[in-house]
Structure formats: structure tokens, C-alpha cells
């Protein structure tokens, strides 16, 4: 199955195949529990709005900000300890959700979950980003494919498990992460063949002063503003359109279309220069988001979700490939950490602005604003292209 889906799977080193299967399990566990978390905390545990926001915000803050610290440490000391630690922290956090009801302990559990995500992903992208330039696009396309498979599997497992007990879903995830951490511990070193950074913060100084990377971060921020709308504006808008009140179809459609598009367009995604993919994706996002302002048709909204998934499946691997390309060898974890923090800033703005626009603003205004943000992405990508003339290493490898 995986050979048919990923095409070049057999050509990936064993450590990469191991990490990609872990991504499937990680994302399946994420979507088995996280979509249930807010309802579980508010309905079952009786948390008020402030406490609920504190728990959810703690998870986001730690997951998106800690890579700035974790990335340089991964570059210095290697990926394997961070992979194991990240999985263990995530399991401990989920154990807290499965067993605790006290708000302070729930906040601590959210911090542990977020820290686990941050540490694990810093190591993961540090390893993936050190693959040879000619393999980068294929590796990140495969990574995105496994994440999409997790989006399909996770909600189904969550729906079945929540019929018995939401806490049981968290408990199952604890067991899963325990098994994944043991598997990671038994693997050989993930990055022994690569030269570590010369100092703990050398890569960070390089990232903060690296002109092409600065332009890339600026070009990425409009997307990181738009991406949270999948969890904020999309479900709120769907509830306003549909009498059923269910938001699950958004994520099922998102996962299925993501997998299908990757199967059909994998060769195009792998062999098209990532800067070109970024530009095309932003242009499509501009038109798509603005188009929702033209009609309140439920059918059109589902077609929009399908098209949005194509954009998402195009842009996420392109951003990761570009980050890997501009990062000096030995500093990939640090560069991804800086990008993660930038994503946290833009994503937080996306959460607040998206909620306010969809709940309190006019329908047309909200989607036109989102379309304008997409147009900003087009402009910033053109600036990136103008200031990084000539093919980047990964683009030259795929030309």
C-alpha cells in the first residue's frame, strides 16, 4: 500500500521510513483526541471559558514557542534523545487528561502535551531536513501524506471511542505514545552521519540574520494566519449553514482529499520548484477564500473545503522544503524552530481575528479579509523569489 501511495518509499533510508510511520500514528492520535478536548473540558468537566482558553492556549504556546529552544539543542546533541523525550512528554500530558479534573493539573497536562509536540517535531524536522536536496521534496510530500492518513483514521477512532468514554480515548493514546517511545529508543541514532552545529546557539544567530530565511518567514506568515481557520472559521461557519451542527465532515473531507490529491499529483509536487508551488498555492488561496463571500451555499462551502485541502497539501511541504534548503547543514532544527515561533505569532492572530470576524462580523467581510491575506502571501512570495535569484539546491535537484 505505502509503495503505491508514496512511490519513492522504498528509496527512503530506514530512519526516514520509521519517522514517517510515526507521523501517521502521531496525527491519528492527535485527531482522535484533540477534536474532543474542548467539548470534554467544557461539558464533562465543567470548565468555564477562561479556564478552557487557558488550557487550550497553554498547549498552543508550548507547542509553537518551545522549538526556538529545542531546535538548537537538537542540532547540538542529536535527534534521538529528543524524539524519545517528546513522545514521553506527550504521553504524560495525555495521561493527565485521562485522569485529572483539577484545572491546574489540566493546564500542566496541556503544557506537557505542547512541550512533547515541540521537542518531537524539532527532532523530526531536523532529521528530515538533512536529507539530500534531490530527495527533500519527496520526503516532505510523503510526510504530508502520512499526516493526511492520520486525519482520516483519527476522527473515526475518536468517534468510536467517545461513544464509550472520552477519557478512554486519551488512555489509548497514552499506550500508543508509550509504544512509540520504546520503538524510538530501540532505533539507531537518527543523525549520526551529519555534522552538528558548532555551538548551541550558533544556528540561532545564523537563522536570525539569514536574509533568504527572513524573507521565507515573512512569506510563510500569511499562510500560518489562514491555516487556523480550519479549526475556527470553518467549523463556526459550517454550523451557521447546517442544521446538523456537526463539524466532523470538514476534517474527514480534508483528510480524504489530501490523500487523494497526493496520490494523483505527487510527481508534480515533487518535481515543481517549491517557490513556484508556494506562489501558485497563495494565488489559489486568494481566489478561494474570497469566493466564499459570494454565496452562502452549503454545497459551495464543501467544494471550498475540497479546494482548500489541495492548497494546504501543496503549500505545507513547499514551506518545509524551502526551510530545509536555506538552512546550513547542522542547523535545520534551529531554522524550523524559528519558523515555528513565527507560525505561533501568525497563528495566534489567526485564531483571534478569525473568531471575531466569523462570529461578530459580516459574512462577506470575513472571507474577503482572508482572501486579502492570501494576496499578501502572493506579494511576499514574489519578493522572496526576486531576492533569491537562481534555483535553490532542492529546485536544481528537481529540475
Neighbouring residues of 276: CB distance < 8 A, sequence distance ≥ 6:
none
How many angstroms separate the CA atoms of 321 and 339, rounded?
Answer: 12
The structural domains of the chain, with segments of one domain joined by +, span 2-189+198-398
Neighbouring residues of 69: CB distance < 8 A, sequence distance ≥ 6:
337
- Mention the CATH class of domain 2-189+198-398: mainly alpha
Q: Which pLDDT value is given to residue 382?
A: 96
State what percent of residues in the chain have pLDDT above 70: 86
How many angstroms separate the CA atoms of 137 and 232, rounded?
Answer: 30
Q: Which pLDDT value is given to residue 198?
A: 47
Q: pLDDT (tens digit, 9 = 90+) per residue, 100-140?
A: 888 899 999 989 998 998 899 888 888 888 888 878 888 88
- The count of other CB atoms within 10 Å of the CB of residue 297 is 12
How many angstroms separate the CA atoms of 394 and 238, rounded?
Answer: 39
Do the beta carbons of residue 366 and residue 357 sit within 8 Å?
A: yes
- C-alpha count within 13 angstroms, C-beta hemisphere, residue 288: 20
Q: Which pLDDT value is given to residue 290?
A: 95
Nearest to 215, CA basis, from 349, 342, 331: 342
C-alpha torsion 132→27→357→43, nearest 10: -160
Do the beta carbons of residue 112 and residue 93 sit within 8 Å?
A: yes
Q: pLDDT (tens digit, 9 = 90+) per residue, 275-318?
A: 999 999 999 999 999 999 998 888 999 999 999 999 999 999 89
Quick one: DSSP state of residue 131?
Answer: S
* Segments in the chain below pLDDT 70: 1-10, 35, 38-39, 42, 49, 53, 189-203, 243-248, 359-361, 389-399
Q: Which pLDDT value is given to residue 5?
A: 42
Output the furthest CA–CA distance in the chain (Å, rounded): 59
Amino acid at each position: 500500500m505505502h509503495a503505491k501511495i508514496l512511490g519513492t518509499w522504498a528509496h527512503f533510508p530506514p530512519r526516514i521510513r520509521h519517522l514517517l510511520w510515526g507521523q501517521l500514528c502521531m496525527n491519528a492520535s492527535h485527531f482522535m483526541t484533540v477534536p474532543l478536548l474542548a467539548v470534554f473540558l467544557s461539558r464533562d468537566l465543567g470548565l468555564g471559558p477562561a479556564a478552557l482558553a487557558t488550557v487550550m492556549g497553554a498547549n498552543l504556546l508550548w507547542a509553537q514557542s518551545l522549538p526556538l529552544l529545542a531546535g538548537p539543542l537538537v542540532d547540538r546533541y542529536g535527534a534521538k534523545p529528543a524524539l524519545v523525550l517528546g513522545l514521553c512528554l506527550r504521553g504524560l500530558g495525555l495521561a493527565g487528561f485521562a485522569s485529572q479534573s483539577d484545572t491546574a493539573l489540566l493546564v500542566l497536562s496541556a503544557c506537557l502535551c505542547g512541550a512533547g509536540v515541540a521537542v518531537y517535531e524539532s527532532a523530526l524536522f531536523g532529521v528530515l531536513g538533512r536529507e539530500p536536496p534531490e530527495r527533500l521534496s519527496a520526503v516532505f510530500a510523503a510526510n504530508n501524506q502520512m499526516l493526511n492518513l492520520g486525519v482520516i483514521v483519527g476522527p473515526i477512532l475518536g468517534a468510536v471511542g467517545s461513544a464509550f468514554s472520552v477519557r478512554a480515548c486519551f488512555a489509548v493514546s497514552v499506550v500508543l505514545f508509550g509504544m512509540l517511545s520504546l520503538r524510538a529508543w530501540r532505533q539507531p541514532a537518527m543523525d549520526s552521519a551529519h555534522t552538528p552545529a558548532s555551538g548551541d546557539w550558533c544556528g540561532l544567530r545564523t537563522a536570525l540574520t539569514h536574509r533568504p530565511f527572513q524573507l521565507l518567514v515573512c512569506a510563510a506568515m500569511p499562510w500560518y494566519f489562514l491555516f487556523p481557520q480550519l479549526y475556527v472559521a470553518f467549523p463556526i461557519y459550517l454550523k451557521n449553514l447546517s442544521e446538523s451542527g456537526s463539524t466532523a465532515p470538514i476534517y474527514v473531507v480534508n483528510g480524504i482529499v489530501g490523500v487523494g490529491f497526493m496520490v494523483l499529483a505527487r510527481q508534480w509536487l515533487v518535481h515543481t520548484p517549491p517557490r513556484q508551488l508556494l506562489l501558485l498555492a497563495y494565488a489559489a488561496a486568494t481566489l478561494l477564500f474570497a469566493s466564499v463571500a459570494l454565496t452562502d451555499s452549503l454545497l459551495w462551502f464543501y467544494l471550498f473545503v475540497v479546494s482548500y485541502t489541495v492548497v494546504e497539501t501543496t503549500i505545507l511541504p513547499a514551506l518545509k522544503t524551502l526551510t530545509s534548503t536555506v538552512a546550513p547543514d547542522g542547523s535545520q532544527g534551529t531554522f524550523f524552530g524559528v519558523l515555528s515561533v513565527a507560525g505561533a505569532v501568525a497563528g495566534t492572530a489567526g485564531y483571534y481575528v478569525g473568531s471575531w470576524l466569523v462570529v461578530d462580523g459580516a459574512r462577506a467581510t470575513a472571507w474577503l479579509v482572508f482572501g486579502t491575506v492570501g494576496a499578501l502571501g502572493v506579494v511576499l512570495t514574489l519578493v522572496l523569489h526576486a531576492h533569491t535569484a537562481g534555483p535553490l539546491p532542492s529546485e536544481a535537484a528537481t529540475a
